[in-house]
Amino acid sequence: MVTRYAGIWAFIWGTCIAVLGGLIGLGGAEFRLPVLLSFFRIRAAPAVIINLTTSLVTVTFSLIFRGGLGYLRYTVPHLPVVLNLLCGALVGSYVGSHIASRMREGVLMRVIALCLVALSFTLIAHDFIFQIEAANISPILLIVLGIFAGFVIGLFSSILGVAGGELLIPTLVLLFGVEIKLAGSLSLLVSLPTMMLGLWRYSRFSHLGEAKRYASLSVSLAAGSIMGALLGSLVLQHVSGALLTVLLGVILLASAVRLFTHRPAHT
């Protein structure tokens, strides 16, 4: 569904999704992907690339905004944690983009749906997850678990085209004992190079050329996402995040289930 109004719809969708995502501390990429697949009828592989590009732009601006507000100076003592996760995330991103690029359309669609189901349950169980106390384990085991967690997060990032904050933040809080607001900034530092590698890897395959056909749509989607992220942050304090997180988790689950019966696009 790419018409002369696609850019307007992309901006509207990008804004609405980013507002909702911003209210629960996420960029909203996991909600953008079903829209790209079902509303705009874009094939799975180029849809992932468009989503990844939009996520990269959104994360970059989020880092700029946080840097301007002085939040990033608090991340310096925790850079070893970022590097620990990146050791696995970069490998996961490389492997995930390679696998996704070689999958048949129908298979990739089902893999995407399964990943979205997993993320939806993460959102639904959000409050319960953060009630668990941080792990107290040996430094060596912590490094190994950090690499493994990073690898899994890198896979999700490259296959769905997401920043992975919905997985990174719980990992930083529960595994490394990082304060939740600081975890949001640290997750961006992990996400940025992870997505850059995934996008570079996708550029090695033919799907990038197909994704370039939707350049104007991608720009509108990114612009809406930036606008929505700003609006979401402004109204954050006036909304109950706990209830909204569960609601969005249910919506994402419904979207994922719908993708199982979604007929692959041919455009």
pLDDT at 239: 63
Give the mean pLDDT of 164-176: 87
Chain-centroid distance of CA 16 in Å reads: 16
Q: pTM to 2 decimals?
A: 0.84
Residue 81's pLDDT band, with cuts at 50, 70 and 90, is very high
Report residue 178 as tokens: 């990082």
Q: Is the pLDDT of residue 220 over 50?
A: yes
pLDDT digits (tens, 9 = 90+) for 237-246: 666 656 667 7
Which range has highest mean pLDDT (69-83, 85-99, 213-227)?
85-99
With a pLDDT cut of 90, the percent of the chain lying above it is: 25
Q: Is the pLDDT of residue 132 over 80?
A: no
Residue 140's pLDDT band, with cuts at 50, 70 and 90, is very high
Give the mean pLDDT of 67-74: 68
Q: Is the pLDDT of residue 267 over 50?
A: no
The domain ranges of the chain are: 6-260
> How many other CB atoms sit within 10 Å of the CB of residue 262?
19
CA atoms within 13 A on the CB side of 181: 4
pLDDT at 193: 94
Q: Where are the beta strands (DSSP E) in 26-109?
A: none
pLDDT digits (tens, 9 = 90+) for 186-203: 888 999 999 999 989 888
Are the C-beta atoms of residues 187 and 165 closer than 8 Å to each other?
yes
